[in-house]
Structure 1
Amino acid sequence: MTTPQRNSPRQKELLEAAYVYALHSGISELSLRPLAEAIGSSPRVLLYLFGSKDGLIRALLARARADELDQIEVLADLRAADEGTTSVARRLWRWLSDDARRGLVALWVESYARSIMEPDGPWGGFARETVNDWLELLAAGRPAEQHGTKAAEAECTLVLAVLRGALLDLLATGDVARTTAAVNLQLDLLDGARPHREGLSP
């Protein structure tokens, strides 16, 4: 293993190119030679810049998470004060289900699964970090006095599970209309049940 040459302009340039490649080709079966050929580099240069294949994968996962966090920041800026978890979820689903994001969300799902299956590998921690990121965004839509309550935590977890399940379906079938209808149905049901649910003790 070589010592990675961090933060050099060439490393940043190749990381962006490798990220575009991963969005189209995936990351779990990443091979250095085809990647290097596709982005105009060589396996030796990639190993020099990132230290190892695992180092490159970690850099790509960090790059994917940076995109995720940027979107969370955008959604947080757009939300109205105390607009509610389901309103945030609807906006989040519109973003996730956009055809332009298909490569990105496929990469997230792929990395999420590998993180669970190989917790000690370069993917380690990605799934947990992603769950925490989205739960934090969903919780931010609630009134401050509800933050940290068991009822709020349960609702955010349920909404995230609905979005994640619909996203897997969407990636498998490409059926935006059906999955969107299912998401909206579940969120409508949550909205209708809220008065009773909000009465739950923390």
Structure 2
Amino acid sequence: MTLDRTSPSARRTELLEAAYAYVLAHGLSDMSLRPLAAAVGSSPRVLLFLFGSKDGLIRELLARARADELALLGRLDEPAGLAAAVERLWDWLADPEHRPMLRLWTEAYTRSLVEPDGAWAGFAKATVDDWLAVLAACEPGADEADLTLALAVLRGSLIDLIATGDEERTGRGVRRHVERLARM
């Protein structure tokens, strides 16, 4: 008999949620199964049984983070136009409540670039595609270069904000881009 690790059991779901809360607080790159298991009330053996491997657990945690991010983005009212979209997305990104998830996103994005195989495979590309789709939905027919520039401004400003905590400077930069978009 083969165990189907893809169909969620209540315990698997419970441990995934607890592990997600743990990595939001502690990061994912240096995650070790023993401390994680202790923190979530399990054992490394149970985690390996339920998720197949450490990489399997990381893949599940990345999928969970991406789903969380997309759910939050889905709650944004679709504004009319790219300028309004960038402004609203920046307000969402700059909200301190979202920092743990965005730190995790930054960590996973970077790791996906330097370790393109294994658990991190495809995360960076998938998130670029997700964000371009959100921006495109806000201004159907927008030029792909304009969408790419908007994404670059948002992503670069986000990374800078996470690195420095300087909401005022990064916010001014994004607002300047919004002003230029509004004049187009």
1:175 is aligned to 166
Instruction: Tell me, in whole angstroms, the C-alpha distance in 1 between the residues paired with 2:138 and 2:60.
Output: 31
Alignment of 1:137 with 2:134, yes or no, is yes
Count, aligned residues: 182
Query: Which of 80, 102, 106 is residue 105 of structure 1 equivalent to?
Result: 102
1:198 is aligned to none
- Cα offset for 1:5? 3.3
2:46 is aligned to 45
Aligned to 2:120, what secondary structure does the other structure show?
A: coil
1:122 is aligned to 119
Aligned to 2:103, what secondary structure does the other structure show?
A: helix
2:87 is aligned to 90
TM-score, with length taken from structure 1: 0.86
What residue identity is the alignment partner of 2:155?
R
Consecutive unaligned residues of structure 2, counting only runs of 5 or more, are none
Q: What RMSD over aligned residues (CA atoms) do the two structures have, in Å?
A: 1.4
TM-score, with length taken from structure 2: 0.94
Consecutive unaligned residues of structure 1, counting only runs of 5 or more, are 195-202
Note if contact 2:24-2:104 (Cα within 8 Å) is conserved in structure 1: yes
Instruction: Tell me, in whole angstroms, the C-alpha distance in 2 between the residues paired with 1:25 and 1:87.
Output: 34
Structure showing greater radius of gyration is 1
- Cα offset for 1:190? 2.4
Note if contact 1:36-1:46 (Cα within 8 Å) is conserved in structure 2: yes
Note if contact 1:32-1:43 (Cα within 8 Å) is conserved in structure 2: yes
- Structure 1 residue runs of 4 or more that deviate by more than 3 Å after TM superposition: 2-6
Note if contact 1:3-1:51 (Cα within 8 Å) is conserved in structure 2: no
- Cα offset for 1:178? 1.6
Instruction: Tell me, in whole angstroms, the C-alpha distance in 2 between the residues paired with 1:55 and 1:86.
Output: 39
Note if contact 1:5-1:11 (Cα within 8 Å) is conserved in structure 2: no
Aligned to 2:75, what secondary structure does the other structure show?
A: helix
Aligned to 2:138, what secondary structure does the other structure show?
A: coil
